[in-house]
Structure 1
């Protein structure tokens, strides 16, 4: 009897150790996937938008990505219902049509997401990939500020310091780019640095507000994140079509919806559409620190690749600014020290909010259009 109990204990320990090794391996795989996904989208958009020849309509690419995301989420819901079409249809009718007031709440973030997706194309078309990647980290600052204002979350002293460093790093990079702008103007006459900068700043502001608003809706509802993303996608597709008609309607009517689409353009669209799903699958094995590290490392990957692919020039100012941003991103992702800083009630509420946020990361974050950039 005792021997059997001892044998069972040994087996459990062996199984636990084996599972731990698997999780550890998956953690590093997750890191690699997050870095590649994070950097590749920015670089590929920059690449297809700077190639000579016919350019595709970015408004049509935004619509196509939304349609693919909706179809993918519908497929996941169908799989969750064990391929029962009737149950899936009834669930969708109840969640989207019958509870229409709940669905209408998603109109606001969907409008902002659609605007944000279009702005990102504008920004990346006018900014070097590395500069965009560094500047886009301002979304951490805007998300943090909106979280404090709208969700009453508290930030640790280290997080506040990291936000100041983040802002300083981005500012240094902009000073460096301002100095290089005149020198490169003859090589990039079709690009406008100021347009790109304004686009990325507005994109960061919209990312922060929409992300926090979406999180607030998710926390106050029992609907699954897949249903929520179908609702978002429906609005996003309609709003994207309106934007496409307004901005490129006449040109698309003349040249066609898929004008300028190449294999590389399709890669960009699929990366946008499925990148979030990919992150959702792997992020369960990655903690907040790992995600912060992935974001930081992806900036390095984007910069190094830009040097070889686009002839991007890195000087001391850019290195200093990017270094501050990378350090700030990593600092911000560090867990709060237990019992530090504020009083007990606020500390515990902040801790629960933080853990709730981490639990939802795999669900919420990947679908913030964001070109699916990891926070």
Structure 2
């Protein structure tokens, strides 16, 4: 995403709002194919299932309008953030969603956090603070002001994305636990609402640009790769929730942070780590593992006579 937003080419840059709705459309298409597989590739059975779950139970379907709107906002914010922040700083800061998710889980689901979870949240905040720690340089004062302003916009965007991600994620989890519908059908419903909200947002904010150069202006191979990764990434989260566990998610998150820093430094050449960046990154990674850690209950020893 960062590479696609900084790539210099002739003509207009692609619209984030267009990329968001393209990803949602692709996500819905993939979920329809997966639902078709679940109905033994019977189009009639799939149509009947979708009609029963989406149209007949429209009251249940409507509940997904809230997270869909929030996810659409979040996806647009991520593009804004990656237009202003380097990939590594973005990836580290975005881990604050662990904090927001925890807080919403406590308030909305009545979840109780243990000592390790609260300790991990403190480590997380300390790590993010170190990552964002300013550094002195010999840059021109005016250039510093411009860079600082852009970075502040990026940070505000990613922080808003963390809050929206936490709330929407917990709300979606609550809906999934209250119903027995297929994960793919739920994602179809979510994707349909997100697509509608995305189109409305694109018309409101980018309507003039769309009329001038079309919806797919500035699209290239890299843009389509980003759209594909966004669509598949949303479905991977659903698969992780269903088949994996928190420890594996911790591994994936930590490895992605390291890879983002490496790629940002060597390939994009837009990341100059400060002396406290790596200690901060280590704290964030440690916090990710610690939050997912669940100590095994001690087994009381019994003596057989």
Given that 2:96 and 2:125 are in contact with CA atoms closer than 8 Å, whether structure 1 keeps it comes out as: yes
Give the structure 2 partner of residue 162 of structure 1: 120
Structure 1, unaligned runs of 5 or more: 1-44, 341-375
TM-score w.r.t. length of structure 2? 0.90
Deviation for aligned residue 1:229: 0.6
Kept in 1, the 8 Å contact 2:101–2:165? The answer is: yes
Aligned length: 295
Q: Distance in 1 between matches of 2:179 and 2:126?
A: 38
Partner in structure 2 of residue 321 of structure 1: 280
Q: CA deviation at 1:86?
A: 1.3
- Taking a change above 3 Å as real, the CA distance of residues 145 and 62 of structure 1, as seen in their structure-2 partners, is same
Q: 2: CA distance between counterparts of 1:92 and 1:327? A: 43
Q: Please, what is the CA RMSD of the aligned residues?
A: 2.4
Tell whether 2:3 aligns with 1:47.
Answer: yes
Deviates more, 1:331-340 or 1:61-70: 331-340
Unaligned runs of 5+ in 2: 300-305
Deviation at 1:198? 0.5
Q: What are the residue-to-residue correspondences of 1:40-79 with 2, within 5 Å?
A: 45-53=1-9, 54-79=12-37
Contact 1:122–1:199, Cα closer than 8 Å, also in 2: yes
Match of 2:289?
330
Is 2:197 the partner of 1:239?
yes
- Verify the 8 A CA contact 1:130 1:302 in the aligned structure 2: yes
CA–CA distance in structure 1, aligned partners of residues 96 and 142 of structure 2? 26
In the TM superposition, what is the alpha-carbon distance from 1:284 to its structure 2 partner?
A: 6.8
Q: Does 1:147 align with 2:105?
A: yes
| Structural mapping, 1:273-284, within 5 Å | 273-278=231-236
1:98 paired residue number: 56
Structure 1 runs, 4 residues or longer, greater than 4 Å off: 178-191, 278-286
Alpha-carbon distance between aligned partners in 2 of 1:287 and 1:215, rounded to the nearest angstrom: 15
2:255 maps to: 297
TM-score normalized by the length of structure 1:
0.74
Assess, with a 3 A threshold, how the Cα gap between structure 1 residues 62 and 185 changes in structure 2: closer, same or farther. farther
CA distance in 1, matches of 2:190, 2:180: 16
Shift of 1:46: 0.5
Q: Note the 1:1-375 alignment, pairs <5 A.
A: 45-53=1-9, 54-176=12-134, 186=143, 192-278=150-236, 286-311=244-269, 312-338=271-297
